[in-house]
């Protein structure tokens, strides 16, 4: 390519805002088919009744979506981010934090736009929604391997799965955050954490009133000769729940647990390897439902439990001994905890992996800017040109 053609190409590329933030949708693997869904009327009805916007990370699809029912019709919006995993919502400040697990890791903060600066060139005009827009991001080395996020006593915490512990995230500092909690079983000599490898897949946080009042799920209880990503790593019944206070297990017998949550003095968790969701009582797991897929993502609102199901990636089938991979589906299921009954489902026919489900009041935001991968350049440029958060 001669220099004139090279200069012309350089001048034209990286002009679309979504390319600046991540990559062109097509290169991120996001298509119109990615956004397809089939929702039951009962799922739409319960979402409308709750008046919330669900936030959902679809990790291997590089896709964040929101679901809400603002005008008697289900509305889906999306934003793209590299391999999104954990989501945490600060309901006081309306900040939404998302962990991006590719190397390097990121924690990205989104906030609803407050206003647009008036411009004489008439750019920056969009519809009246309080659209979630990127506000800031913090980068970390890939070894952190972030999964879940949680707000505890107003502070943001993240599972550093690759380091077998939890960090307190300081978005106001450019310094790499250090571990503030880890299980006793992953300590090296002198009581220091062994951060040389991912030993136990410590992957979710049930937020309590303090870090010591919180709980954490892991695929294993202690360091073994094999690692959690090894095909020979033992998983069936080896998963545990750690106490933040004692840093030792308080529940055993799980298989690749995820999405641990604390609700009304009870711990709920996805027993992913068997496609189950349930609760912990007296150190044992009690299933509430068995669903078609790898269960991951759990959010409870007014006694309605939303749980995600995912397809089984071929290279990870050994981690799901209790799931029929041929019947696995990507979707979200609503369960009424008052009578433990299923009350609605949304499925994504071309969907793959769901990681997290959280919620924010619909009055605060109905989601992101994008509704289609074919969004007009004018609308996109205008929305990002003069937004304020």
pTM: 0.96
Cα-atom radius of gyration of the chain, to the nearest Å? 21
- Rounded-to-5 percentages of helix, strand, coil across the chain: 15, 40, 45
pLDDT tens digits, one per residue of 283-336: 999 999 999 999 999 999 999 999 999 999 999 999 999 999 999 999 999 999
The string of pLDDT tens digits covering residues 238-265 is 999 999 999 999 999 999 999 999 999 9
Amino acid 12: pLDDT: 80
User: How far apart are the C-alpha atoms of 316 and 146, rounded to whole Å?
Assistant: 19
Which pLDDT belongs to residue 294?
A: 99
Q: Which residues pair with 202 in a beta bridge?
A: 218
Half-sphere exposure of 362 (CA within 13 A, CB side): 18
What residue spans define the domains of the chain?
31-388
Assign domain 31-388 one CATH number from 2.30.110.10, 2.60.120.10, 3.40.250.10, 2.120.10.30.
2.120.10.30
Contacts with 348 (C-beta within 8 Å, 6 or more apart), sequence order = 34, 36, 37, 58, 330, 331
Which tokens in the block code for residue 26? 């097509």
> What pLDDT digit, counting tens, does each position of 112-149 carry?
988 766 666 655 555 556 899 999 999 999 999 999 99
Percentage of residues in the chain having pLDDT higher than 90: 82
Instruction: Please identify which residue in the block is written with the tokens 């915490």.
Output: 157
More confident residue, 385 or 145: 145
């Amino acid at each position: 390519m001669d220099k004139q053609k090279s200069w012309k190409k350089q001048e034209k590329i990286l002009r679309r805002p979504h390319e600046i933030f991540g990559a062109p949708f097509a290169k991120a693997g996001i298509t119109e088919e990615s956004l397809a869904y089939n929702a039951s009327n009962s799922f739409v009805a319960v979402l409308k009744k709750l008046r919330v916007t669900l936030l959902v990370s679809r990790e291997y699809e590089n896709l964040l979506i929101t679901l809400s029912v603002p005008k008697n019709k289900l509305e889906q919006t999306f934003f793209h981010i590299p391999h999104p995993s954990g989501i945490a919502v600060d309901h006081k400040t309306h900040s939404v934090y998302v962990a991006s697990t590719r190397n390097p890791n990121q924690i990205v903060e989104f906030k609803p736009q407050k206003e647009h600066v008036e411009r004489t060139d008439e750019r920056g005009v969009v519809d009246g929604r309080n659209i979630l827009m990127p506000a800031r991001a913090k980068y970390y080395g890939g070894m952190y391997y972030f999964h879940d996020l949680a707000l505890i006593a107003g502070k943001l915490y993240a599972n550093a799965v690759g380091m077998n512990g939890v960090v307190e995230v300081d978005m106001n500092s450019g310094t790499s955050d250090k571990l503030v909690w880890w299980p006793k079983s992953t300590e090296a000599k002198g009581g220091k954490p062994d951060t040389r490898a991912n030993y136990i897949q410590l992957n979710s946080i049930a937020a309590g009133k303090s870090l010591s009042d919180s709980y954490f799920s892991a695929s294993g209880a202690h360091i073994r000769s094999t690692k959690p990503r090894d095909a020979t790593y033992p998983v069936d019944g080896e998963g545990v729940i750690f106490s933040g206070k004692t840093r030792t297990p308080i529940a055993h017998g799980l298989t690749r647990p995820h999405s641990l949550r604390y609700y009304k003095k009870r711990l709920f968790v996805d027993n992913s390897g068997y496609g189950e969701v349930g609760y912990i009582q007296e150190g044992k797991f009690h299933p509430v439902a068995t669903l078609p897929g790898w269960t991951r993502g759990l959010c409870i609102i007014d006694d309605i439990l939303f749980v995600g199901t995912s397809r089984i990636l071929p290279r990870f089938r050994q981690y799901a001994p209790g799931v029929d991979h041929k019947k696995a589906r990507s979707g979200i299921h609503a369960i009424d905890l008052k009578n433990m009954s299923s009350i609605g489902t949304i499925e994504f026919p071309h969907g793959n992996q769901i990681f997290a489900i959280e919620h924010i009041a619909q009055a605060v935001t109905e989601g992101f800017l994008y509704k289609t991968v074919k969004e007009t350049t004018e609308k996109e440029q205008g929305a990002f040109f003069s937004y304020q958060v």
